[in-house]
Amino acid sequence: MALITIGLAAAVIKFLLGWELIPGLDPIFMTPGDKPGEVMRAIEVIGSISCVLLGAYPMVLLLTRWFEKNR
């Protein structure tokens, strides 16, 4: 589980900041030269889903903790 988390964090950091923490990491979004509307690489689909969930899970955790205290 920790390896997946580290890999996801490294991919997001590479996309957002341009810092390559793990050399040779496959991009999770379109790269220069890709044409929109053509077949997406499977890793791009997984990357899009994981970036959405990356923000959703901490928010659900915070809401759950907040509503538990206000019972």
One digit per residue, pLDDT tens: the chain, 71 residues?
678 778 777 877 777 787 888 887 766 666 667 776 666 667 777 777 877 787 788 888 888 988 887 66
Residue 38 CA neighbour count, 13 Å, CB half: 7
Q: What's residue 37's pLDDT?
A: 64
pLDDT of residue 36: 65
**pTM: predicted TM-score of the whole model, two decimal places:** 0.50
How far is Cα 17 from Cα 40, in angstroms, rounded to an integer? 22
Half-sphere exposure of residue 29: CA atoms within 13 angstroms, side-chain side: 13
State the total domains in the chain.
1
- At residue 9, φ and ψ (nearest 5 deg) are -60, -40
Owning domain of residue 40: 2-69
